[in-house]
Amino acid sequence: MTVPPPLKNDCFALPPGVRWTPVDEALEMVKSRLAPVTASETIALSEALGRVLAAPVTAPRAHPPHANCAVDGYAVSGAHYRAGAHQVALQDGRSAAGAPFAGVVPETAALRVLTGANLPTGTDTVILQEDVVLKDGHILFNGPLKPGANARRAGEDVMAGDSLLPAGHRLAPADLGLLAATGVGQVEVRQKLRVAVLSTGDELAEVGEIARPDQIYDANRPMLLATIAQLGHEPIDMGQSPDDRAALSRYLSNAADKADVILTSGGASAGDEDHMSALLSETGTMSLWRMAVKPGRPLALGMWQGTPVFGLPGNPVAALVCTLIFARPAMRLLAGEGWHIPEGLMLPAAFTKSKKAGRREYLRARLNAGQVEVFPSEGSGRISGLSWATGLVELSDEAQSITPGTPVRYISYADFGL
């Protein structure tokens, strides 16, 4: 098992001077400072779905390993048959998938073959059985034949030694097919990134309990735990901390013991009860990232006992948007996965909006007849809009005046991996 070096304590430090950091600049900083923190291990291919490759994979074997037949029919030597009618003697025997023909087929003969069978020695072309009439131990067909037709060359898909997938690639079902086909039985992957999720706030009630009138249900934790799982990481539920510095400190230490990265929500600004940012400040590692983004509020980024902490805003809408825009690419890097920011699609707006320059905005959006509509309220507490939406609309930092038909960037939840 290979274990990477720990992150530096100043990995979230911002350049001096208070200002609003543009989203792209913030992302560049994340990109340049974070590195994989997960160790690698070798596992069976059958266990590897959704895991991140720790090393590139090359093909141990060609695909197909041997020239074979693409259809049921008759194998011949294709160059031998010009235009016109032909009658060719059938050789005794056949070649079937897994049961090859042992002999050699003369240039003037044909052999019965089935799909997936090794192409018999002496042949290079298969005539589709539907194009043939069988008569007295012969086949009748019309030329010309295209040499190589209906046959697959050895290695035409993959040659032994070809590079198949790069390090950092997350294995999808189709990848497992490719690796299996080329004889890869085991892969070296990263251990899953363990992500602790902690809610903070005296007002929070646990879903399933009866909430007092002064309480709200903790919506962020189920949402963020599910997001982590969908992104392919290992979610760790750390519960709810009250707005109490000593208690929160214990919760953080507990999370740092169990996880590679900690996501908290609430208490991240600079108010009286914003203990998250206060505690991270005490460690001397905190940066309050004031991003030029709406919905946002500051993100409190820091290290707790060597573990990176993303202090997300408490508002559910801001918490999810900040997770998708900032924490998602960061977690990918920590997990050993490559950098990726979804591009989305430019589609016509079905709404009207004007925004000021200098700040990026994300609106809850969904598609309607090929156009992008947005949730009627931009209120950051309106969690119903997150569920109504099927993605976000990204309005660029520059001023934009959007009217129906203006192209806007729509990024679906699926594009983010949800």
* CB of 219 vs ligand AMP, minimal distance in Å: 4
Q: Which of 120, 267, 308, 329 binds Mg ion (CB under 5 A)?
A: 267
How far apart are alpha carbons 74 and 149 in whole angstroms? Answer: 11
How far apart are alpha carbons 408 and 349 in whole angstroms? Answer: 6
Q: Which is nearer to ligand AMP, 53 or 263 (CB)?
A: 263
> For 376-379, which contacts have Cβ atoms below 8 Å and span 24 or more sequence positions?
378/294, 378/295, 379/317
* CB of 277 vs Mg ion, minimal distance in Å: 11
* CB of 204 vs ligand AMP, minimal distance in Å: 5
Q: Which does 182 bind (CB under 5 to 8 A by kind): Mg ion, ligand AMP, none?
A: none
Which residue has 């992150």 as its token pair? Answer: 7
Cβ(120)–Cβ(105) under 8 Å?
yes
Torsion-angle region of residue 28: left (phi > 0), alpha (psi -120 to 50) or beta?
alpha
| End-to-end alpha carbon distance in the chain | 30
* CB of 9 vs ligand AMP, minimal distance in Å: 25
* CB of 220 vs ligand AMP, minimal distance in Å: 3
Which residue has 């040499």 as its token pair? Answer: 147
Cβ(262)–Cβ(253) under 8 Å?
no
Q: Which is nearer to ligand AMP, 304 or 351 (CB)?
A: 304
Interface stretch with ligand AMP, choices 110-118, 120-128, 197-205, 287-295 (CB under 6 A)? 197-205
Q: Which of 191, 199, 227, 285 binds ligand AMP (CB under 6 A)?
A: 199
- Report the site for ligand AMP in 315-374 (rule: CB under 6 A): 315-316
Q: Which is nearer to ligand AMP, 40 or 287 (CB)?
A: 287
Is residue 99 a contact residue for ligand AMP (CB under 6 A)?
A: no
Q: Which of 64, 73, 266, 391 binds Mg ion (CB under 5 A)?
A: 266
* CB of 297 vs ligand AMP, minimal distance in Å: 7
Q: Which does 218 bind (CB under 5 to 8 A by kind): Mg ion, ligand AMP, none?
A: ligand AMP
Cβ(348)–Cβ(368) under 8 Å?
no
- Report the site for ligand AMP in 217-276 (rule: CB under 6 A): 218-221, 265-268
Would you call the peptide bond into 407 cis, given omega within 30 degrees of 0 as the criterion? no
- Report the site for ligand AMP in 296-325 (rule: CB under 6 A): 313-316
Count, residues near ligand AMP per rule CB under 6 A: 17
Q: Which of 127, 187, 204, 322 binds ligand AMP (CB under 6 A)?
A: 204
Q: Which does 199 bind (CB under 5 to 8 A by kind): ligand AMP, Mg ion, none?
A: ligand AMP
Which residues form the interface with ligand AMP (CB under 6 A)?
199, 201, 203-204, 216, 218-221, 265-268, 313-316
Chain residues in the site for Mg ion (CB under 5 A): 201, 266-267, 314
